[in-house]
Amino acid sequence: MGTMLFVREGRGLTPTPAGQVLVHRATTVLAEAEAALQDVRLAAQGITGRLVVTFAGSGINGPLGAALGRVRRELPRVHLQLEESFNDAEMSTGVLEGRFDLAVQRLPMRDARLSTQVWWREPLTLFLPAGHPLAYPSEPAPLAALGQIPLVIWPRDVSPRSYDEIIALCHGAGIAPQISAEGRSVQTLLALVAAKFGAAVLADSHRALRRIGVTPRPLAGTSTTLHLVWRSDDTNPLVERLRTVLTHVTDATTPADNPNAMGPTSTTDATGTTDASGSTALTDGSGAARPASSTPARQTRQRGVRRQGR
């Protein structure tokens, strides 16, 4: 190094001032190397690292909130970055492109490179202006109710699959929907309902928002499903650990807090978008929604975890 680092004194060596600097830095480097090795081992075991998760806006009002709390407790050394989205296509595309490690979404894209798992199922609910005649009965509303009040709905450019799902419900019931207004967020949709523009069809979990001036009433015979979506070739052990924790949450969840919740389910249909028991809105290969009544029975029994594709 071009300078004296140690001097011999008796049987030992004493570092010179330059040597003391080297000893200090070497100690730090060795400690950092040991820490780096430990981090690599923990990452390989799925204990530490970083995950980017995108989720449907409605999911956070259901079991996802509790699930994320459990993830934080069980994986305290994992940094979770969360991104809310209302566009199913963008979420699936983000997973494919590697921008997201996992998506929690309702209508995943059909793609052989994606794997999906049905995670949670709940009714679709008609959110009505308080005081409207349809809001009085306590039992689920028939689909015919969609033709008895104008609808406030997502713009198709914001959430095309949710839009198509609602339109399919109407068409399946022989109804030509009357759309009175559009909203680009749940809060906007519910505000329009409270202002008596019409009713909104949303996942039942949105009742947790308790919007003043809005009365929720489940739609009979309908359901919507949350899926876990990840890349089929993803070998990151953290993704598997995350899916395991999330699955344990819904396995242990009961519908006691919300009598309308259907809870977790282990089946998917051939499109990977909904469960056929009680569901009235599915999607075809193009992603457009259609009534479940047109789905052959042979398509309704599939495994809960599978790869997408033909």
**How would you write the pLDDT of the chain (310 residues) with one tens digit per residue?**
778 877 888 778 888 887 777 778 888 777 777 756 655 665 665 566 889 999 987 778 778 888 888 888 888 888 889 998 878 889 999 999 999 999 999 889 899 999 999 998 888 999 999 999 999 888 999 999 999 999 999 888 888 878 888 999 999 999 999 999 999 888 999 999 999 999 999 989 898 889 999 999 999 988 888 999 999 999 888 898 889 888 887 765 544 344 455 555 443 333 333 333 333 333 333 333 333 333 333 333 333 444 454 4
| Six token digits for residue 149 | 């009040």
DSSP type of residue 291? E
Q: DSSP characters for 179-230? A: EEEE-SSHHHHHHHHHTTS-BEEEEGGGGGG--TTEEEEEBTT--EEEEEEE
Strands 102-105 and 49-56: parallel
Same domain (yes/no): 24, 141: no
Phi, psi for 208 (deg, rounded to 5):
-60, -20
pLDDT score recorded for residue 43: 60
| Chosen domain end from 185, 218, 251 | 218
| Chosen domain end from 181, 203, 218 | 218
pLDDT score recorded for residue 294: 35
Same domain (yes/no): 40, 118: no
pLDDT score recorded for residue 116: 94
d(CA 104, CA 230): 9
| Residue span of the structural domain in which 142 resides | 124-218
Question: 225: which residues sit within 8 A by CB, 6+ positions away?
Answer: 106, 118, 119, 120, 121, 265, 268, 273, 274, 275, 279
Q: Is position 243 within any domain?
A: yes
pLDDT score recorded for residue 86: 78
pLDDT score recorded for residue 268: 36
pLDDT score recorded for residue 234: 92
Residue 142 DSSP SS3? coil
> To 10 degrees, what angle do helices 88-96 and 160-172 make?
130
pLDDT score recorded for residue 286: 35
Judge whether 55 and 63 are in contact, CB under 8 Å.
no
d(CA 33, CA 12): 28
Residue 238 DSSP SS3? helix
Query: Locate tokens 């689920």: which residue?
Result: 140
Q: What is the CATH number of the domain that holds 105?
A: 3.40.190.10
| Six token digits for residue 237 | 């052990």
Same domain (yes/no): 230, 91: yes
Question: 298: which residues sit within 8 A by CB, 6+ positions away?
Answer: none
Element (H, E) at 147: none
